[in-house]
Chain A
């Protein structure tokens, strides 16, 4: 604005130029400072986590009963959650990604809701639906099913919050497949099921694996919904995040730190895997 482009003479041009140079330098400095602040803000706590956890203590703490139980519960439940998400989510993602039908955008929005919902709210919602006094509670009880505070409740809580990560990525992957390829597969004699497994799945495999990795990471880290709907019973429903909170509350900082460091390593590993999957393109 001040450094107009309509300068009237060589002197004005010179002033405008040095002014611009100064502005450029200021902007670069500001950006540099912002980057430094943010990098430190995110990296420092993570570094601190490891700095506060020497390897000897790390291994010792991870051999505690609490940590071993939590690790077991976390792995078992998150893998089952992931399996449920992939088995149910893939056909849904395919439908959302390749077909246009009434109500589609409503379903898309519904599946995005858990992304923005506070996990504690998700937990309460699950409780209101499937809990002892929930709208399906009585019916479930008559057939002898009680969900809250069980292993199944952990899986439900994890699936509820992690599903959108998979469905979003997977449906984007299906949507990006050239429609001609699906059509040509049908004219070559393959029914819709064969077309789905031989053309759609292989062509969307990058998005499918990236989505699966992301939702697995989300399931592993689930805390709020699990705490409210499944509780924190060691060996049954106490996952790593819940165990961390438990140990922290009980003032056993060392155990909490060790388990946290483990989770950082897991998450970083999953993230790295996602990067590798989405970057590698084999054709």
Chain B
């Protein structure tokens, strides 16, 4: 699953952030690590510290070959010396430069002639399939194209680490699936240690190999994606682990995409991805009813209630359908439906709530 690589990044940070004390120690060994957590937990600050845009009260950041920051030894490389590529949610392209100029901005090593520069930029544009946009201004291209340009621009600097700050959250749900699939392929090709910050579980499932969960400035759990999904160590991790995830094969059918799971169940999605996919359904998008719903929801499963667990005013209901699915509904709804263990219920959700993420190698 991990791209075979000996590249490594060690991060140790202590920093006072308003009311919380950021305190995070972790290592990234190639592949993509997702740093997830509630908003305000300090995710973005960790990225900014690694990039050198934020100087922490105390910290140590090193790659295999270089120390980027060591406050105890007064080492603090400037952002431009760190070789850390950063991708922001909207791409953060320079609006006053063409796509080609954006990509040429940080070419490393520095080209010795205009000719060499143009050739290298042309190569990058081709590699990221944006050669047609060379002279376009960023305001004239789509969100997905912007992310490709941003990635090409970051790769042009020959970075040793890639940081992705909510790279997909500015995209609409249809584009998101494509860009996520593309991004995951490119990141794997690049084989750089990458850190992804996101609040969207579907992004994480689609892109990351490892997960680090940060809450109130503290890392509460790190591990492989599957480990964290199987053994969540905190409420937030549990919510993350509580998402419904079904692998399957996707195929276009008219305006929709149908996903067939290994046990033959078909789910409908509005995302347009085909081939081997994972279907992500957030539990809060799933409705429960005692009778077959007449709503426009296109996905329906039937089974007995296996588990009811209360989390505040929300109840997580596990339905023993094929495949089993988890719904999160209010305590009032539980009462209204008089849900009890073994009661047969229908779980339904809209096609738009089936989020598809590309699957490669992940089981």
**Which residues in A have some Cβ–Cβ distance to B below 8 Å?**
178, 180-181, 183-191, 198-199, 202-203, 282-283
Instruction: For the complex formed, measure the closest distance between the CB of B17 and the CB atoms of chain A, giving whole angstroms.
Output: 16
B111 touches A (CB below 8 Å) = no
A-side contacts of B88, CB under 8 Å: 180, 184
Give complex CA distance A11, B156 in Å. 77
What is the CA–CA distance of A183 and B82 in the complex, to the nearest angstrom? 13
Chain B, interface residues (CB within 8 Å), range: 20 to 34
Which chain A residue has the least Cβ–Cβ distance from B101? A198
> Which residue of B80, B96, B106 contacts A203 across the interface (Cβ within 8 Å)?
B96
Report B-chain residues with C-beta under 8 Å of the C-beta of A191: 78, 80
Contact A181 B94 (CB under 8 A): yes
**Quick one: given A283-B137, A283-B139, are A187 and B51 in contact (CB under 8 Å)?**
yes
Q: Which residues of A contact B83 (CB under 8 A)?
A: 189
Known: A188-B105, A190-B105. Is A183-B86 also a contact (CB below 8 A)? yes
A-B contact list, 14 entries, CB within 8 Å:
A181-B92, A181-B94, A183-B48, A184-B92, A185-B105, A186-B79, A187-B51, A189-B80, A189-B106, A189-B108, A190-B80, A190-B105, A203-B94, A283-B96
Asked whether B53 is an interface residue with its Cβ less than 8 Å from the other chain, the reply is: yes
A283 neighbours in B (Cβ, 8 Å): 95-96, 137-139
Query: Are B105 and A186 neighbours in the complex by a CB distance under 8 Å?
Result: no
CA distance A186 to B94 in the complex (A): 13
Given A183-B79, A186-B52, are A199 and B94 neighbors across the interface (CB < 8 Å)? yes
- Chain B residues with CB under 8 Å of A186's CB are 51-53, 78-80
Question: Is chain A's interface secondary structure helix, strand, loop, or mixed overall?
Answer: helix
Going nearest first, the 5 A-B pairs with the smallest beta carbon separation are: A188-B106, A186-B79, A180-B92, A189-B106, A187-B86
Nearest Cβ on chain B to A185's Cβ, whole angstroms: 7
| Further contacts, 7 of them, CB under 8 A, given A181-B92, A186-B53 | A180-B90, A183-B53, A186-B80, A188-B105, A190-B80, A203-B94, A282-B96
Closest B residue by C-beta to A187: B86
Most buried by A among B53, B85, B94: B94
A183 to B54, CA, bound (A): 10
Chain A nearest CB from B38 CB (Å) reads 22
Which residues of chain A are near B78, meaning CB under 8 Å?
186, 191
Residues of B42-58 whose CB lies within 8 A of A: 48, 51-53
Cα distance, A203 to B83, chains bound together (Å)? 25
* A282-B78 Cα distance, complex, nearest whole Å: 33
Residues of chain A contacted by B106 (CB below 8 angstroms): 188-190
Question: When the two chains form their complex, are residues A187 and B95 in contact, meaning their CB atoms are under 8 A apart?
Answer: no
Which residue of chain A is the closest to B159 with respect to CB atoms?
Answer: A187
Max chain A C-beta neighbours (<10 A), residue from B78, B86, B92, B108: B92
CB neighbours of B52 from chain A (8 A): 186-187
A187 and B85 contact, CB distance less than 8 A: yes
Complex CA gap A191/B80 in Å reads 6
Residues of A within 8 A of B51 (CB): 183, 186-187
B48 to chain A, nearest CB (A): 8
Closest to A202 in B: B96
- Give the shortest distance, in Å, between A164 (CB) and chain B (any CB): 27
Q: How far is the CB of B166 from chain A (nearest CB, A)?
A: 11
> Is B153 positioned at the interface, with any CB of A under 8 Å from its CB?
yes
Most interface-central of B52, B53, B78 (chain A CB within 10 A): B53
Instruction: Give the nearest-CB partner of A180 in chain B.
Output: B92
Q: B85 to chain A: which residues have CB within 8 Å?
A: 187
Return chain B residues, CB-CB under 8 Å to A187: 51-53, 79-80, 82, 84-86, 154, 157
Contact B82 A188 (CB under 8 A): no
* Min distance, Cβ A239 to any Cβ of chain B, angstroms: 37
